[in-house]
Structure 1
Amino acid sequence: MYRAEQIIHMMAPPIPYFLGCGYTVYQPREEHPSRRNIGIFDFIAIEYGTLHIGEAEQQWALGAGQSLILLPNQYHYAVRPCEEPTAFYWLHFHTVCSWQQLPVEQSPFPYPDAEDHNKRFLTPPYSLQLPKMWSMPYPEQTYRLFRQLLKYSVKRQSSAFWSRQQLFEEMLRAMDLRQIESYASPAITVAEKAEAYIKSNYRSELNSEQMSNALHFHYNYITRCMKQVYGMTPGDYLSYYRLEQAKLLLLKTEWPIAEIAAYVGFSSTPYFSNRFTLRNGCSPREFRKQFAL
């Protein structure tokens, strides 16, 4: 199987969203149009023939079963005309989250703005890892999804909207290299195990020794992995998660502040209030009053 050399990392949620798709057939001597800074991602999947296409300094001869993602801020051009009948599916999509294209050896992509993402979308970021150019392991699956998408292109928006986005997300999931074991990064694996452990035990008095014993890794290595993947140490993530659970309880219950602090794992109510205020810009009581009738 062809191994991706470049990966496009996209922070989520929200998930990238579908804009439009089509199916194009070129005859010999026809070529892909040249375009610059189109502002959206262009995903191409070749069904048969060979498409000679370039982006900035890179050039490809894409054959059957291969795919390519063209970036929204680059110059795309035909390297040369097709020499045989060539057919491909194309799909335009966009994302409002940050993204970056990196060589595969620089994976996993760190989250330099993880804190901003948390504040904007109220959840830690997940990084989709989409191969720039790829020999698709199951091309027929991709073609099937494209054919279904094309059927919805002529239907009413009210009946097609959810179906198209669902099909596109199924396509994204098949492309996301984090779902493929051979691409799994040790740092991501350890960070995700640490995250799951924290979420399962956040109400307890967690310490470095407990986490090391549970995950079978030295705490310094766990910390390094979480910083690389989530932009937070285990202690930072534990505090973040406890405070997020506290916000839910402030909204959904009438429990006293001290009871909420103890429930989410804080041994001191004043310390809880201080950490909550620093993170949210208001005290727990003021936060609750914002939403009270």
Structure 2
Amino acid sequence: MKCLELAIPPLPSLLTVGHAVWMPGNYHFSRSFDVFDVIFVKKGAMYMQEDQAEYTVQAGQLLVLEPGKTHSGTTPCTEETEVYWVHFKHPAALRTMNTEDIPWSAVLPQGRDSDTRPSDQTMYLPKHGTVPFSLLQPVLDRMDQLHMQLSVEHSLQLQTLFCELLETLQSEAKARPGSRSSALARETVGYLQKHWMEAFHSQKMEEALHFQFDHITRCMKKYTGMTPLQYVHHLRINHAVILLEQTTFPIQEIAERVGIPNVSFFGRLFRERIGMPPGQYRLRRQYQL
């Protein structure tokens, strides 16, 4: 399945949602406008074109039409066709990706209370294909009902339901069978999250994951941007940050508690990832509090 990669923040903003039954002979008119138009077909079929690409949207499928592209019906409906549509505003997709190539395990910066802007992140939306309509229809029906009776009281709830819809679609894309390398990367992340406090041994990883360490490393690097050892250091430094903020333990003790007994090496790793020595970080946090 192809997915659209969207930059977040900001989150997409819902514009409108609707529901209709199209009779045989009806078809979508031609237009191009600066919003995303998501079509869900409950029964029947719609025949669409976006720029030069043609799509058949059958029962239980969706099609995401993109801003700035011209879309239109290519053939009238041949049977009674029940559809939902959702329009939302968001910058154009960064790119189109196959689900098996999406870096689901990629490590993102964790927000801290000193940050003044969120980190760059991404979300993924199926472009065209089968979706779990039984899960989506209750959300679509509730969105349609709220939109028809929209008030200040329910506007936030409507946007929240829209985000729930997007999350369900992304979860469906993630659940699609992916490549063996992406599956191994996720399995490696899970293994390291359980064993990051232990001494790092490549042989133990090979025995647990049943692959050679070089192959494990290549998969991890492709889908997380880190080698297994770099990921362990990432987890250890994150935990050290918590200890620096919430305890009065000496830095040497914190280094030992996170599995890096060499305090000089701990300090170097900390500076590389946080941008300052651990002692300076603790003083700055105390001043901020």
C-alpha distance in structure 1 between counterparts of 2:218 and 2:30, whole Å: 43
Is 1:200 paired with 2:183? Answer: no
- 1:207 is displaced (CA, Å) by 1.8
Residue 75 (str. 1) matches residue 70 (str. 2): yes
Change (3 A) 1:60 1:98: closer
Question: Are the structure 2 counterparts of residues 97 and 73 from structure 1 closer, same or farther at C-alpha, using a change threshold of 3 Å?
Answer: closer
1:134-182 CA distances to partner (integer Å, 9 max, x unpaired)? 133x4333222210222233354455525752564256335534553x6
How far residue 269 of structure 1 moved from its aligned partner, in angstroms, is 0.8
Contact 1:273 1:283 in 2 (8 A): yes
In structure 1, what is the equivalent of residue 238 of structure 2?
244
Matched, 1:90 2:68: no
1:187-221 CA deviation, whole Å, 9 max, x = no partner? 22211121122121212211211111122221112
User: Is residue 98 of structure 2 the alignment partner of residue 64 of structure 1?
Assistant: no
Deviation at 1:244, TM superposition (A): 1.2
Q: Deviations over 1:213-260 (max 9, x none)?
A: 122221112111111211111111111111111111111222111111
What TM-score does the superposition give when structure 1 sets the normalisation length? Answer: 0.78
Q: Are 1:216 and 2:207 counterparts?
A: no
What are the within-5 Å matches in structure 2 for residues 63-212 of structure 1?
Answer: 63-72=58-67, 74-82=69-77, 85-93=80-88, 99-103=94-98, 107-110=100-103, 117-118=108-109, 130-136=125-131, 138-153=132-147, 154-159=149-154, 161-162=156-157, 164-166=159-161, 168-169=163-164, 172-173=167-168, 176-177=171-172, 179-180=174-175, 183-212=177-206
Kept after mapping to 2: 8 A contact 1:177/1:183: no
| 1:265 and 2:259 are equivalent in the alignment | yes
Count the aligned residue pairs. 280
Deviates more, 1:184-193 or 1:81-90: 81-90
- Judge which range, 154-163 or 86-95, deviates more: 154-163
Mapped contact 1:37–1:73 kept (Cα < 8 A): yes
SS at match of 1:87: strand
CA distance in 2, matches of 1:15, 1:223: 33
Partner of 1:48: 43
Using the aligned pairs only, state the percent identity.
Answer: 26
Q: CA deviation at 1:59?
A: 0.9
The TM-score with structure 2 as length reference comes to 0.79
Distance 1:255 1:96 in 2: 46
AA matched with 1:109: I
Preserved contact between residue 18 and residue 165 of structure 1 (Cα < 8 Å): no
Tell whether the 8 Å contact from 1:7 to 1:101 is kept in structure 2 after alignment.
Answer: yes
CA RMSD in angstroms, aligned pairs only: 3.5
Deviations along 1:92-125, whole A, 9 cap, x unmatched?
A: 3467898531346xx22348xx57x426799999
Output the CA distance in 2 between the equivalents of 1:242 and 1:92.
Answer: 43
| Paired residues of 2:40 and 2:61 also in contact (CA < 8 A) | yes
Distance 1:158 1:185 in 2: 45
| In structure 2, distance between residues paired with 1:41 and 1:120 | 29
Note closer, same or farther for the CA distance 1:224–1:41 as it changes in structure 2 (3 Å cut).
farther
Distance 1:263 1:22 in 2: 55
* One-letter code aligned to 2:61: Q
Gaps in structure 1 of 5+ consecutive residues: none
The within-5 A match list for 1:8-23 is 8-9=4-5, 17=12, 19=14, 20-23=16-19
